Structure 1
Amino acid sequence: MSGKTFKKAQRIVDQWLLTKTDRTRVEYERDINRYVHHCVALGVNPLRAEPGTAATYLSMLRDEYGMGPSARLRAYRVVCAFYNYAKRWGHARRNPFDDVPKPSVVAEPKLGMALDGAVHFVREAFYTSERLYALAVTLLVLGLRISELLSADIEDISTEAGQRVLWVLRKGRDEKIAMALPDFVFAALVAYIGTRRSGPIFVTRTGKRLTPHGAYDSVVRLAARAGLHHISPHLIRASTTVILLELQQGLEKVQEHLDHGSPQTTVGYNKKRLRLSASPGFVLERALVDALGSSMEQSRIAVAA
């Protein structure tokens, strides 16, 4: 693929991204650029790609990036959205993903950590660094998406009617909303921010805004050190949902706190939580233990006699 062809494809990608809101643009840019670079590596013009290119891209996401079905489905949808735009404006004739199986996702959500796991996670963060501790407790208590938290600035910490709040631009919204900032979280943020008075709350060692990718890796490594495997920023959000439900918070309150787009999302977490905790297997286990205990005791008495 010539440099001229690549520049044309990149120009159309940039035009498409300009039609998105700031937050959506950032999220979409990562996935579409990853796809374009995949095409370039294969010497394929993204605007003339065939199903084989689409199939190898999805395989790469699974094998090289370790993405699960949900993440691959998100990337699939992003690239399909780009092709819909390109077709509509006459830049592409077809969408190569139309002939590739869509990544399937298990309907039930992953529940993440219970309260005891969250305690281990936060304790490990506390003894690791002020930044990780602030990141861990803010994600967990406020139930934020990682992109929502990392886009927040120091100036977004303020007071409303005597209550400390963090102003957050939630997914799909045009304006920031105030979220109550408990003392526990506020103290962690203040200790981490130190003498800084403006700019991003979470920064790299060079002072740049921490990216979702960088935070993701830090969270995964932190969880592993705490003995919690396969925990990601998204599963911290799931953990917030489950823990609040375990603490008898109402479904509506939990949905609002987590900013779930549909009540069914919150209900889905609750159904799985209840299904697991009330499994008939536990009833059978108790019956077996009782029966085995009685029969074994009778056997010992018979042998002793």
Structure 2
Amino acid sequence: MATAAERDERSGAAAEAAPAGAEVRGYLDHLAVERGLAANTLASYRRDLRRYAEFLAERGIDSLTGVGPEDVAAFLRRLREGDAEHPPLGSNSAGRAVVAVRGLHRFALREGITRTDPAEEISPPRPRRRLPKAVPLADIEALLAAAGVSGDARGLRDRALLELLYGTGARISEAVGLDVDDVAGDAAGVVRFRGKGGKERVVPIGRFAQEAIEAYLVRGRPGLAASGRGAPALFLNARGGRLTRQGAWAVLRAAAARAGLDEVSPHTLRHSFATHLIDGGADVRVVQELLGHASVSTTQVYTLVTVDRLREVYAASHPRARSAPQA
């Protein structure tokens, strides 16, 4: 198989030789001069469109006016299947190439080069859905135990923050945006979050999180508040102001390091919260409400995680799921 440099050289030569190559060059000039695309983005578009021009030349098409929807669809299939000169592309890379092709045809239509847009109905391949990363409960417990080991004001705050993140599935921006009134007084036992778009939701606080927050409010927050100007924020920094997202990240990183855990983020705690609920039998629509998802389809990704877990347990446990014994 040819190297990337050889493929680019051949592709470029074929594109330059093909009449459609002139139309491609015109579009690339437009992107560089009028749109001001970054050099790396422009280089990617150039590679993708040179390959497209080469593909059209192979099919005997000498101008964009001769391109039909079936030609664009065939190009997408070629990208995904690969050929003697190119390996198959994944959905992300193929999608980028299709975006470049669609932009080329829109440009040709707008400039009066063509009368129709054959790529209008061609959608980029959907990227493979990445399953959210969750960590086992034992690791969560180790992380929480490692938070606030000092027992001072900041230690109590750190433990309360992480217990809240895992105990409610909150986004980090929602957690640092809380005020004391959102968890105290009439709101005891629940927390009131202001999510995306200002939408509010009420989430129960589990016993561990509630106890950690109460300990922080009684023994930790007053000391931090003494350094500030009476900020209403629940989680305060050392100067008495509202703890920032960056500050909350630092709290989590420090606890993860003490617990010996890698690649733990606030979103990991949110994913773990949802996955553990689904594993425990919670209805997906209840989890949707707790997470504040606008659509249940966003929450259903966690059911895929559970299905994978079910397959593992089934394969390890059911006598007819195991491989046949060797003769």
Q: TM-score range by the shorter chain?
A: 0.5 to 0.7
Displacement of 1:210 after TM fit? 1.2
**Counterpart secondary structure, 1:230:** coil
Scaled by the length of structure 2, the TM-score of the pair is 0.52
Which residue identity does 1:142 align to in structure 2?
T
Does structure 1 residue 119 correspond to structure 2 residue 144? Answer: no
* 1:269 corresponds to: 302
Closer/same/farther in 2, CA of residues 225 and 275 from structure 1, 3 Å limit:
same
**Counterpart secondary structure, 1:166:** strand
CA distance in structure 2 between the aligned counterparts of 1:159 and 1:137, rounded to whole angstroms: 19
* 2:167 corresponds to: 141
CA distance in structure 1 between the aligned counterparts of 2:128 and 2:267, rounded to whole angstroms: 16
Closer/same/farther in 2, CA of residues 143 and 206 from structure 1, 3 Å limit:
same
Paired residue for 1:245, among 250, 272, 278? 278
Larger Rg, first or second structure (1 or 2): 2
Unpaired segments ≥5 residues, structure 2 = 1-33, 44-123
Q: Is the 8 A contact 2:274 2:287 kept in 1?
A: yes
* Higher RCO (Cα < 8 Å, 6 or more apart): 1
**Counterpart secondary structure, 1:172:** helix
Paired residue for 1:166, among 171, 186, 191? 191
Q: Output the aligned Cα RMSD.
A: 3.2
* 1:182 corresponds to: 206
**Counterpart secondary structure, 2:147:** helix
* 2:72 corresponds to: none
Displacement of 1:202 after TM fit? 1.2
Displacement of 1:141 after TM fit? 0.6
CA distance in structure 2 between the aligned counterparts of 1:219 and 1:236, rounded to whole angstroms: 10
Which residue identity does 1:264 align to in structure 2?
S
**Counterpart secondary structure, 2:166:** helix
- Superposed CA offset, 1:202-226 (max 9, x none): 1221112111122123213322321
* 2:179 corresponds to: 153
Scaled by the length of structure 1, the TM-score of the pair is 0.56
- Superposed CA offset, 1:182-209 (max 9, x none): 3432221122233358521112211121
Closer/same/farther in 2, CA of residues 210 and 281 from structure 1, 3 Å limit:
same
Closer/same/farther in 2, CA of residues 205 and 105 from structure 1, 3 Å limit:
farther
Q: Is the 8 A contact 1:148 1:169 kept in 2?
A: yes
Unpaired segments ≥5 residues, structure 1 = 1-46, 57-101, 296-305
- Superposed CA offset, 1:249-290 (max 9, x none): 1111111111123212221111122124414764699846x9
* 2:39 corresponds to: 52
**Counterpart secondary structure, 2:138:** helix
Q: Is the 8 A contact 2:131 2:302 kept in 1?
A: yes
**Counterpart secondary structure, 2:300:** helix
Q: % of aligned pairs identical?
A: 25
